Chains A and B, each alone.
Chain A
Amino acid sequence: MKSSAMRDLMALTEREDVISLAGGLPDTSTFPPDSYASLMRTIAAESCARALQYAPTEGLSLVKRCVAEVMSAEGTEVDPAEVLITTGGQQVIDLMCKTVIDPGDVIVAEAPTYPGAVPTFSSYQADVVQVRMDRDGMRVDELEVTLDELERAGRRPKFIYTVPNFHNPAGVTMSLERRRELVRIAQERELLVLEDNPYGLLRYESEPLPTLLSLDGGNFVVYASTFSKILSPGMRLGWTVAPRPVLEKMNIGKQASDLCSSSLSQYFVAAYFQSGPWRDYVRSLIEIYRRRRDVMLDALAEHYPREAEWTHPQGGLFIWATLPDYIDTTDLLARALEQRVAFVPGRAAYVDGRGGSSMRLNFSGVGENDIREGIRRIGEVVREQVALYGTLTGAKPTTASSRADQAPGYAEAGNPGSDPVPRAPDSELAKILRLPAPRKRTG
């Protein structure tokens, strides 16, 4: 379990008067209430008793066909029979651990990794080994080194956990080459990969890349996704596609956990997909989120000091910003909360206390004005801390006026050349996801 200090701080981020860039919330306010009412009427008229009844553990066939449709839209064809409907994508992570993890088993994850997976891994007492990322996603060369080291120690990971598209929290996307490499490694070493792809359809630029599942052909990749980001997290519906033996065990695990996912939600999703416009709704979300991302990137360029760096996500919900290593973002959050703004301290995305100078910023859950104002407020407290450190050490802080003529300090992830945004040199890019150096101790 994560530290109580961070939990206590995070509890304050939920207050109404706080602009929270800490959540991972999609914007559900644009879903038309009329459509909601009409879908519920359809359910009442056509499947009332069934919607109020238990569902099969593996989920309704109707919904599995919706899953196949969504995955096809991302270029991955699946047989609905290979799908297990789950209670959110989060349950796939839980079921995967339940199925294969014994206390002390190794899970390899990215560094940073999805903060919501950390407590799940911890609760199964897994030993999480984190492999660094760069602009192209997980460093597969480091993955191989890590796997070799583990092998020499007589340890074999139970699975490799990755979020290849628009990583949460890092905001980067795994390149095609890396995807192929990762699948090759998994096949050669006969290792399971849990591909967590909640945001794949929320792409704001560049062309989609094939899923690991499609590259692997379903031998070693367990795929997880969700309706949360393309329809509603309130439905609590996700799914997994997995090799048959794993899928069967997950099914048994799910029976033990919750028997089935909500029938009512499943009928809602089925009715919604039958009504037609799900792709239009996703397109409308993409427009909203793309604008919000751009507003946040502009605000970061305007308000963060030169010493800060951040990623440029091609999709998804998050930007990952890294500050100078003398600023601890858990402490900084206390000061930010005074200014009624919140973010997720980077340490939440690591199992070993790293990430102390980074922060995750969400741009999907709040409106454009709040994003501008939130980033302005965080920028102000960061500048204060940078200036204070400068006075303590004699280092000169960057002033607002000297900042104005700098190129924005961000870097886009993947696919260079197709993108009009300014780009920092590669050496700068490499630093964006660097591991914070240990504090120097001298004298």
Chain B
Amino acid sequence: MSRVAVLKGGRSLERQVSLRSGARVEEALERLGHDVISIDVGPDLVERLSADPPDVAFIALHGRDGEDGTVQELLEVMGIPYTGSGVSACIRAADKVLAKHAMRDRDIPTPDFYAFNETAFRELGAGAALPAIEERLRFPIVVKPAGQGSALGIKFARTPADVPTALVAAFSYDRKVLLERHVIGRDLAVSILDDDGSARALPIVEAVPREEDFYDFESRYEIGRTTFLCPAELPEPIAERTASLALEVYELIGCTGFARVDIMLEEGTDELYVLELNPIPGLTETSLLPQAADAAGIGFDELVGRILERAGEGG
């Protein structure tokens, strides 16, 4: 049995989700007999970890600082083993633009996109290039901040008049945004668990929003707003293709332990497109990884136990 520091909360916009993930992980760890130190991550993080070093840190943080390699780097410096992916994988995954470039370089299908820093618009007149971008991506275009793990700040532009407003909104969350072709189709999430040295895909979850025309932040975490189908009803060849594509992305980014890959199955063409990889997917009651694990016969406590066992291998 170990002394496990559960890192949760923090200053990220996904603080609330992280607190819920963290609380659930803490309960599971206690049931597993571990000694739990609960840490709401703040300016005293390093001080607290130094004063009372745990055997291992379970990172239940989402979004900025927790999922982008920052906390991982600190834990590396302090020599504390931690769950999940290492610094470089987190950096690559948390920045959607880096991740998509890596995929494109490897011929992994991802929706066409263009990404810009705010300075491109402020200093270089990138606004004048918007018509060319719109012509290539075709409407509707998805505008999203590069660095948010959830759907916060993601906007749809259906016409040229929507684009500036969508960009202003997305730039509220990050100084880098991407404009991406909107793939119409089915929203699939492949959770990956890597608990015995070889990564495997768990049953695929399909998210079917009930109200909005987009699977957005609102419905992502709200009980009853989204219907989840697990395993997703897919023809076997497509399910296999989806799982192997997700594993390919997992390897490409260099993840450890677990992750979730979001993939669109395009209506009409049955083509698959990878949207992003989440190195620390949610662990709340409504989160997709625990649902997928459950469908594979792995209960939440067992899932947490397996993730913990791989701690320290992500560096």
Contacts and interface: CB of A to CB of B under 8 A. Distances in A.
A11 B118 contact: no
B162 A385 contact: no
A335 interface: yes
Interface string B59-90: 00000000000000000000000000000000
Interface in B166-182: 167-173
A332 B169 CA distance: 7
A337 B160 CA distance: 29
Contacts of A440: 161
Contacts of A441: 158-159, 161-162
B211 to A, nearest CB: 11
Nearest to A18: B11
Given A15-B11, A391-B122, A332 B161 contact: no
Contact of A392 (B13, B153, B167, B217): B167
A387 B118 CA distance: 11
Contacts of A337: 13
B164 interface: yes
B153 A391 contact: no
B164 A389 contact: yes
A49 B153 CA distance: 56
A392 B163 contact: yes
B168 A326 contact: yes
B168 A389 contact: yes
Interface stretch (B14-22, B238-246, B267-275): B14-22
A191 interface: no
A12 B161 contact: no
Point out which of A3, A8, A332, A443 has the most chain B C-beta atoms below 10 A from its C-beta: A8
Interface in A295-330: 326-328
Interface string A62-82: 000000000000000000000
Contact of B218 (A3, A9, A326, A328): A3
Given A4-B218, A394-B127, A439-B162, A388 B11 contact: no
B165 interface: yes
B50 to A, nearest CB: 22
Interface in B84-138: 118, 121-122, 125, 127, 130
B221 interface: yes
B contact patch SS = helix
A326 B172 contact: no
Interface in A381-428: 385, 387-389, 391-394
B13 A9 contact: yes
Contacts of A393: 127, 164
B168 A391 contact: no
B30 interface: no
Nearest to B153: A331
Contact of B16 (A8, A328, A335, A392): A8
B122 A4 contact: no
A4 B160 contact: no
B168 A327 contact: yes
A51 interface: no
Contacts of A15: 11
Contacts of B217: 4-5
A278 to B, nearest CB: 39
A7 B16 contact: yes
Contacts of A394: 127
Interface in A317-355: 326-328, 331-335, 337
B222 interface: yes
A30 interface: no
Given A441-B159, A442-B159, A334 B173 contact: yes
Interface string A424-441: 000000000000000111
Interface residues of B, number: 33
Interface in B211-254: 217-218, 221-222
B154 to A, nearest CB: 10
Interface residues of A, number: 31
B164 A326 contact: yes
Contacts of A389: 164-165, 168
A11 B16 contact: yes
A443 B122 contact: no
Interface in A1-54: 3-5, 7-9, 11-12, 15
Contact of A388 (B16, B17, B118, B161): B118
A385 B218 CA distance: 24
Nearest to B130: A392
B152 interface: yes
A3 B221 CA distance: 10
A406 to B, nearest CB: 23
A373 B27 CA distance: 41
A393 to B, nearest CB: 5
A15 B15 CA distance: 11
Interface in B1-37: 11, 13-17
Contacts of B122: 387-388, 391
Contacts of A12: 11, 13, 15
Given A332-B172, A334-B153, A388-B167, A8 B14 contact: yes
Contact of A11 (B15, B121, B130, B172): B15
Nearest to B158: A441
B14 A388 contact: no
B127 to A, nearest CB: 4
B161 A443 contact: yes
B221 to A, nearest CB: 5
Given A8-B15, A327-B168, A443-B159, 12 more contacts: A4-B217, A4-B221, A5-B152, A5-B217, A333-B172, A334-B152, A334-B172, A388-B168, A389-B168, A391-B125, A439-B162, A441-B159
10 interchain residue pairs of minimum CB distance: A392-B164, A331-B172, A331-B169, A335-B172, A8-B16, A392-B127, A443-B159, A5-B217, A326-B165, A334-B172
26 contacts: A3-B218, A8-B13, A8-B14, A8-B17, A12-B11, A12-B13, A15-B11, A326-B165, A328-B165, A328-B169, A331-B169, A331-B170, A332-B172, A333-B172, A337-B13, A385-B172, A389-B165, A391-B122, A391-B125, A392-B167, A392-B168, A393-B164, A439-B162, A439-B165, A441-B159, A442-B159
